Structure 1
């Protein structure tokens, strides 16, 4: 599919080879089942420690049965089928079945509340949901407001909508749809840090578009003995298309482990006990693990650690080298156009504040207001040249938002990420979201670096940084702090926390305002919702 040197994406020899006809379900399941049916695809571990092994043959058989069960319930090509359950093998089976059918899968986070579920299911016009029992219970109160929703197949249930019974009654033979690479396959809603989440519609080719970035961020995946796991839920693009599907494409076994609550101790234990070689750890998970005793990392055999979603600072990167024994490779992208920038530790050590270089195959630039490339070292908006295999097709039911996501300049049509950055010597330094960058006294300050510095204070559990209006400086840095358990707020502690930034970063970056809050507002993917912090600031006090 790709000229990547046997799975190793290297800048000098890369070229896209996207076939005209391509189907994600066939690629990540049936292709391997035909060649190596007994090869392990997924090792599924539940909260009680029970294990199930899914070979590619087992994935093919169950996804074929599910595809036939969906057909008997009226699901056709182009229909939306939602997947509502935590990380487990049935998530993969559901997506594979939907894609082989030619329908569109909609991943949903198991911890979504009723409003989040209602918006996504109503906006998408979802016809069928595949859910575990907890998810089905949430849906039961919403079904009268979802006129398009005809069926809910329920795992671990023996009722009339039993998933188990539906598969048992269905044929194991199924002929996959002959889909084009550009046919719709996935509808993934954005995190919704501002306004209602928008559905980003992706084509089957999106998997192929992800592969170079995944390979680089994991120090040239696959290698013999690779085994991958992430705590990121497979409902998000980071879990689904940065880990699960690329690993299955490459024949790398995936560990599915659903924690009722993520803890550093549990993560270290899983990495050690299952001898996991590759992991994607979001920044929030890394920060929690950094606070745990380092001896918990004894016995790890990690080959690659990747992270994306928020910038990592110098101290977190150094901690990773010491504890994991490898570089943490930062990567960058967003739901609409993911895995477009990455570092690669086996090529060169990570540079704090630098995300990495554009991944081969993706033309990523920093543009000015007229969509012209900025000179080296000049701040602008990070943009991706269109078309691109990893780029979304459009926003669902939002043509105006789709058009606003793009700009045309001298170099052609560009997708605008909305993030600010600086390109220098072919690498990109992340500054912040366009509305997150703080302008203070003539300085432009990215909140991520300040937050990372604040997180090194022993009393700080989470830190969120915003700019608040100031008559003299335009804006000043304000830090919202969630303390570790047992720490007590005080003026002296606020001063000590602020001074950490003054002495470790720069005087113009230190927070002149420090507020203590009980719980940091986070998206379901663990990102700080700075819009809520700005609302707190306007209100004059934390909640």
Structure 2
């Protein structure tokens, strides 16, 4: 356990001993550039490979020195536009080198990066750009071309657009990055509590909301990053990869920045994630460490005996964003031969709970233990802590080390996350007598049926454990007698077909493994699921469709 580590070992992963407890070390001058590319340059690692970018016509490799030079060239250009400390610069460049380099450039001028997913349609993109009032956007020709004609009307705050491989009148980002970097450029690095990232992320209601994080975020994540990568972050041969969008926490703060903090390369591509492609990509680039959401892992699990087909180097898979089924974790370690550490948190306050196989045993199906430096409790509706074995809402202290700076222009939403001295998550769990947490679902996903409070997560996990089920989502369907009934949407695994017999088998599977009142009264078979922008099944839409149908 962590108590066995000495002071030097703890300091290496960002922890300090505080009496009998451990706390997270966040220096006042913590800065994302200084902790990543800046640290590598200071250590003389400029010739180390920082990024491997695979495209259909070949592979581009960048060293830390090349990234630093390109970032300085871009920073100088942005400064010449009048941008600097406090300026918002929007990034709409995808999982490409331009995105990573631009983050470093924005740090160098003391600005704030507005992270925008290329999955956003024009309305969501327009909302984020107009809401943030960012004056400058970096994008790529393929993404910008369909927006160019109506840009002035749609993006009313923009003054500068830089386009990689531009085919229009905008400044060519590709040429800027390959231009000369002024030798006399002066850095303006801001501190731990200054804004670094404005992340527009999907919520349960409305348009994407802007979440501000300070530079402290990477320093505060450092202990948990080391733990869910199983204390192997700096393995000499480590190569990192994630299909998760770099506009959100999973791809950016759980993979890209950690890899560069360790001085290790990131392999990336713009190809759409498919199991066969992912296996081939990871084999080609000898990927050892990856962040994969549970949905991606389940897609990989459709392949039989993957190690007999692909020359994989996988060592550690960390996963978060949704509950990881016990069967999925077992499959990863049996079939891929990799350690799989699940962790939990949300964009506003992350890395609260998780696993580290190198330090303590995991319990399949469990979220893990509270990570060091975090005070995590389960409380009832009145904010009173519940006993072990009782279901409660996950909360943490309002001054948690990984908490955000706040929502942009949304104090009302910010107030919704406060419960006295606690910060709410609206996620439900049970903690056992040994301190392990077991996820039960979102409080707003809660199904109330015939007086029972039923969380969908355990039913979904139970269904997925059946060999006929590839994926499942469970919602409450309005019912005049019971309030709600349980309805399951099931995507079948290869080789299975829907039938009345199978429906009854699935009901019995849940009935026998969980409880009779948790067995779905209705099961609908679907070809696939609509996903949210953060890669989760859009249960809200499924639930709303049932509510709308009930009204008619």
Q: Which TM-score applies when normalising by structure 2?
A: 0.91
What's the Cα RMSD here? 2.5
Q: Deviations over 1:445-477 (max 9, x none)?
A: 321222233234455443210122345544321
Distance 1:493 1:378, change over 3 A: closer
Does residue 1:154 correspond to 2:160, yes or no?
no
Separation in structure 2 between the aligned mates of residue 203 and residue 454 of structure 1, nearest angstrom: 40
| Residue number in structure 2 paired with 1:204 | 215
Distance 1:168 1:316, change over 3 A: closer
Distance 1:429 1:458, change over 3 A: closer
Separation in structure 2 between the aligned mates of residue 312 and residue 283 of structure 1, nearest angstrom: 6
SS of equivalent to 2:89 = strand
Does residue 1:397 correspond to 2:409, yes or no?
yes
SS of equivalent to 1:148 = coil
Number of residues paired by the alignment?
Answer: 536
SS of equivalent to 1:347 = coil
Of 174, 177, 180, the match for 1:164: 174
Separation in structure 2 between the aligned mates of residue 256 and residue 39 of structure 1, nearest angstrom: 19
Residue 511 of structure 1 deviates from its aligned partner by 0.9
| Residue number in structure 2 paired with 1:496 | 505
Residue 207 of structure 1 deviates from its aligned partner by 0.8
| Residue number in structure 1 paired with 2:118 | 110
**Equivalent residue runs for 1:345-494 within 5 Å:** 345-408=357-420, 413-424=421-432, 425-483=434-492, 489-494=498-503
Residue 292 of structure 1 deviates from its aligned partner by 1.2
Q: Is the 8 A contact 1:338 1:391 kept in 2?
A: yes
Q: Deviations over 1:486-505 (max 9, x none)?
A: 86544444333333323444
Q: Deviations over 1:125-161 (max 9, x none)?
A: 1111111112222432333232210111111226541
Q: Is the 8 A contact 1:127 1:148 kept in 2?
A: yes
Residue 178 of structure 1 deviates from its aligned partner by 3.5
**Equivalent residue runs for 1:244-259 within 5 Å:** 244-259=256-271
| Residue number in structure 2 paired with 1:36 | 44
Separation in structure 1 between the aligned mates of residue 486 and residue 494 of structure 2, nearest angstrom: 25
Unaligned runs of 5+ in 1: none
Residue 163 of structure 1 deviates from its aligned partner by 0.7
Q: Is the 8 A contact 1:468 1:478 kept in 2?
A: yes
Q: Is the 8 A contact 2:89 2:135 kept in 1?
A: yes
Of 159, 183, 199, the match for 1:188: 199
Distance 1:190 1:417, change over 3 A: same
Separation in structure 1 between the aligned mates of residue 528 and residue 276 of structure 2, nearest angstrom: 22
Distance 1:348 1:172, change over 3 A: same
| Residue number in structure 2 paired with 1:506 | 515
Distance 1:296 1:112, change over 3 A: farther
Residue 436 of structure 1 deviates from its aligned partner by 0.9
| Residue number in structure 2 paired with 1:120 | 128
Q: Is the 8 A contact 1:114 1:138 kept in 2?
A: no
Residue 395 of structure 1 deviates from its aligned partner by 0.4
Unaligned runs of 5+ in 2: 1-6
SS of equivalent to 2:138 = strand
Distance 1:304 1:49, change over 3 A: farther
Residue 539 of structure 1 deviates from its aligned partner by 3.3
